[in-house]
Structure 1
Amino acid sequence: MDSEISKTTIEILDEMIRLAGERLSPQAGERRLRQVAREHRDVQLDVLWEQEAMNGAVHYDALLRVPGQGTVSVGYCPDRGVPFALRGAFRWSESEMLRVNEKRMTIPDVVALLDFLWDTPYLTDRLVETALVAEALERDPAAFEPTREELQAAVDGFRKRRGLFTAEATMRWLEQHGTTVQSLEQLVDGFARATKLRDSVTAGREEAYFAEHRAEFDEAVIARIVVPSRERALSLCASLRAGEVDLLEAATKALRAPQRTDLPWQQPPPLLARVRRGALPEERAAAIFGAAPGTVLDPWDTPAGHEVLVVRAIEPATFDAATRRAVRDRLFEAWLAERRGASKIAWIWGQQP
């Protein structure tokens, strides 16, 4: 084996032995191991860790790879540590994700439910993108280390989006979702790092992109009313155009009318919304942004029903803070798409033995 990987293997093992005698967080320990590997540029490192629930001890495994040569697996278990045969002994199956009473749900079950039944068709794309982001962050973790203020902002944003305004509400949410404060902190840390990665990827490119795609960031303020039948939608359009019915009154009647609302995709959208041209299907964007304020558009078929839309205002794009964030998101999505096109992706959970 190449002398470089031999030297790295010994140094990684020495660091694992030192970590076994310290009470560091798994993230801090992983950073220490990666710091050792960064001193050997020809060696690629993957780190896996597992924290024992009983005593908080952390076990690390490392894979050291030299392209074109081979891979070395390194692990260390101190005396009186949890034996490898018992590590994760409560797992019935690596493919199982949830048990409720005697009912078990596997990862394929969950993905199918989220992807198809619950109308989140981009779940698998997001999983791939998350892996690509994690891969990029691992190459230079120190460059994306969040500050204390950035971490706090990420935590506050997470709690605000979910209405967790008290410690009790946050703990209840953690319990309901089968996670811990430590896991939440790891997720938030990853989110903060991903935000810094996005900003790094897009820095200095926002204004040029905006100038080239300015029209895509135009905004419209719209009002939407969804009714169950096309006949009723056509009648509502005629009444609104003739001024025979008030918009708010029509929206109230639509909500009170009998219709199926028991499934997520049948829930009506909010009455008022702000939309960007580039986020809409081309035909829909042309109809909205080609209309004058006050125009009642023809009914549009949606998963929730037949939508009657009134254009309230059209606002040409300006390069403000919100638009800058939207541009960064667009640039980052393009960066991810490029990386995905060059990646090898294998869906292991869907393969049968």
Structure 2
Amino acid sequence: MKIDQVIALQIEGENYSLGTVLRFANLQGKFDLIDDYITISLIATYADEHSITASQEEIRAAVTDWKMEKGMYQSLDTEKWLAERLLSTSDLVDFARRKILNDRVRKHVVSGKVEPYFADRRSLFDAVAFSQIVVNDRVLARELRFRTMEGAEFFSLARQYSIDESTRLAGGFVGRIERTQLPQAIAAHAFGVIPGTIAGPFEIDKKFYVVKIEEVYPAELNEATRARIEGILFEEWLSLRRKQANVNVSLWNED
């Protein structure tokens, strides 16, 4: 059967073939599902190469967890859901197995690499909590900073003058932001100072920022930071694995 004979979507009574959908995706350059499956397959290959497996008991537990997440407490509910999507129980079991392998391959790939990565890039994970006043005029920004130095309440000035709607009503409070997420002008003055320091004005994208450093958080290898680094390392590994893989997407070979 050719892809133009397979109905992929029905929208308000009109049918759209798989071929139509794929051609649109090709023009858009978006094949996320295919890319996802390539990733899953590369992970499965790595698991085979390194004898990383999942037991039947673990797979059954993963399937049960999936059912609970979907609110499927009866076997008939699961069977109906699968049938509506032309899936089988074996497809679900394979999905659960691959999910377990994904987690285990991730841990295998990043094992022993998190600590050195953190040690080499520790400063990147420093964070700061700050508030800001954003205005369109440098002179006004200087005046507002001067007023804070004289004792005016920063949050009151922010609510009165700041043009940044996302922080104005909160008295300019931005929250906790890591060094790499900060504009360079602010990052250069945000660390190594005592809480309460007022800095600026800084010109960023033709706007002028006066900031108050609320708190400084030196980097530490806690659970959240470890998870982030594991994610970075795993994505780097996957990117390299994709480049090295011999992948041929033959969607248009219908014969």
1:206 lines up with 2:101 in the alignment:
no
Note closer, same or farther for the CA distance 1:194–1:93 as it changes in structure 2 (3 Å cut): farther
Distance 1:140 1:207 in 2: 24
| Structure number with higher helix proportion | 2
1:145 lines up with 2:50 in the alignment:
no
- The answer to whether the Cα contact below 8 Å between 1:219 and 1:317 also exists between their aligned partners in 2 is yes
**Offset of 1:339 from its aligned partner?**
1.7
SS at match of 2:221: coil
**Correspondence for 1:195 among 103, 120, 128:** 103
Note closer, same or farther for the CA distance 1:181–1:348 as it changes in structure 2 (3 Å cut): closer
Aligned to 2:238: 336
- TM-score normalised by L of structure 1: 0.43
* Structure 2 stretches lacking a partner, 5+ long: none
- The answer to whether the Cα contact below 8 Å between 2:63 and 2:92 also exists between their aligned partners in 1 is no
**Correspondence for 2:221 among 319, 333, 338:** 319
- The answer to whether the Cα contact below 8 Å between 1:145 and 1:193 also exists between their aligned partners in 2 is yes
Distance 1:253 1:281 in 2: 16
SS at match of 1:275: strand
- The answer to whether the Cα contact below 8 Å between 1:299 and 1:309 also exists between their aligned partners in 2 is no
- The answer to whether the Cα contact below 8 Å between 2:52 and 2:101 also exists between their aligned partners in 1 is no
SS at match of 1:143: coil
Aligned to 1:268: none
**Residues paired across the two proteins, number:** 223
Any residues of structure 2 matched to 1:293-312 within 5 Å, and which? Answer: 293-294=195-196, 295=198, 298=202, 300-301=204-205, 311-312=213-214
**Offset of 1:219 from its aligned partner?**
2.4
Note closer, same or farther for the CA distance 1:196–1:333 as it changes in structure 2 (3 Å cut): same
* Structure 1 stretches lacking a partner, 5+ long: 1-84, 116-122, 258-270
- The answer to whether the Cα contact below 8 Å between 2:47 and 2:101 also exists between their aligned partners in 1 is no
Amino acid aligned to 2:120: E
Overall identity of the aligned pairs, in %? 17
Note closer, same or farther for the CA distance 1:317–1:244 as it changes in structure 2 (3 Å cut): closer
**Offset of 1:333 from its aligned partner?**
2.0
Distance 1:233 1:184 in 2: 60
SS at match of 2:112: coil
- The answer to whether the Cα contact below 8 Å between 1:154 and 1:192 also exists between their aligned partners in 2 is no
Aligned to 1:42: none
Aligned to 1:34: none
Distance 1:131 1:335 in 2: 14
Note closer, same or farther for the CA distance 1:188–1:114 as it changes in structure 2 (3 Å cut): farther
Deviations 1:275-305 (A, max 9, x none): 3335x37836844754744446636449xx9
**Offset of 1:192 from its aligned partner?**
3.7
Distance 2:177 2:102 in 1: 25
1:100 lines up with 2:1 in the alignment:
no
Deviations 1:161-192 (A, max 9, x none): xxx8x779xx9xxx9xx968977876565444
- The answer to whether the Cα contact below 8 Å between 2:110 and 2:233 also exists between their aligned partners in 1 is yes
SS at match of 1:246: helix
Q: CA RMSD in A?
A: 5.5
Deviations 1:103-131 (A, max 9, x none): 7462454587797xxxxxxx86x964652
**Offset of 1:202 from its aligned partner?**
0.9
- TM-score normalised by L of structure 2: 0.56
**Offset of 1:197 from its aligned partner?**
1.0
SS at match of 2:136: helix
**Offset of 1:224 from its aligned partner?**
6.9
**Higher RCO, Cα 8 Å, sep 6+:** 2
